[in-house]
Amino acid sequence: MKKNNLRAWTLFVNGAQRLEGAHEYTPPELAITKVEVRSGGMDMSVPMDTGMEPMVCTFKIYGVDTDALALFGMQVGGKSPRITAYEGYQYTGGSYGKIDEMEGMITKITADARPNTNMSEASVTLEMSLNYYRSSVDGRELFEIIPEQFVRRVNGVDVLAGLRSKVRL
């Protein structure tokens, strides 16, 4: 891929409402949990995938956004809030877009310290524990992770499909 730079990004709640005061967004870290396995005929241990670490994203909002804060711990009608992050990247001669779709529960709200200067920069950080994550670049799926359905797709390949069929999920 060509050298590229993040040029702009936005966050939306439930597909329609833009979080206008959002000024910082950290996508979820994707991490595999593993154990080291070594049998009698092996010279060294090898890693074995035992699942994934919990996924968490954070975003920071200037001031007080009561609609976003009201999502704390909420599931409206049995449905988790959905945050969509749109990112625009630019390179010499072109641009492309990345979309992260996340569902989960706002599990933590942390207010910045209240300074005596630059008060307009005081923010609130929201942490969201995810039960769904999908990331795509210009329509090409990079990841889709649905823990409750035992789905982990990487670059369009469902790496858990074979195991899922063995346990009849």
Q: What average pLDDT does range 100-109 have in this prediction?
A: 92
Share of the chain above pLDDT 70, in %: 96
Interval 109-154: pLDDT, tens: 888 887 777 777 788 899 999 999 999 999 999 999 999 999 999 9
Q: Two tokens at 85?
A: 């992050």
Distance CA 11, CA 54 (A): 21
Distance CA 115, CA 104 (A): 31
Give the end-to-end CA distance of the chain in Å, rounded to a whole number. 37
pLDDT at 93 over 90: no
Interval 6-16: pLDDT, tens: 999 999 988 78
Interstrand relation of 56-62 and 94-111 (parallel, antiparallel or unpaired): unpaired
Q: What average pLDDT does range 37-65 have in this prediction?
A: 91
Domain ranges of the chain: 5-166
Interval 68-86: pLDDT, tens: 777 777 666 667 889 999 9
Distance CA 58, CA 17 (A): 17
Mean pLDDT of the chain: 89
Q: What pLDDT does residue 15 have?
A: 79
Q: What pLDDT does residue 78 have?
A: 67
- CATH numeric code, 5-166: 2.30.110
Contact between 35 and 48 (Cβ < 8 Å): yes
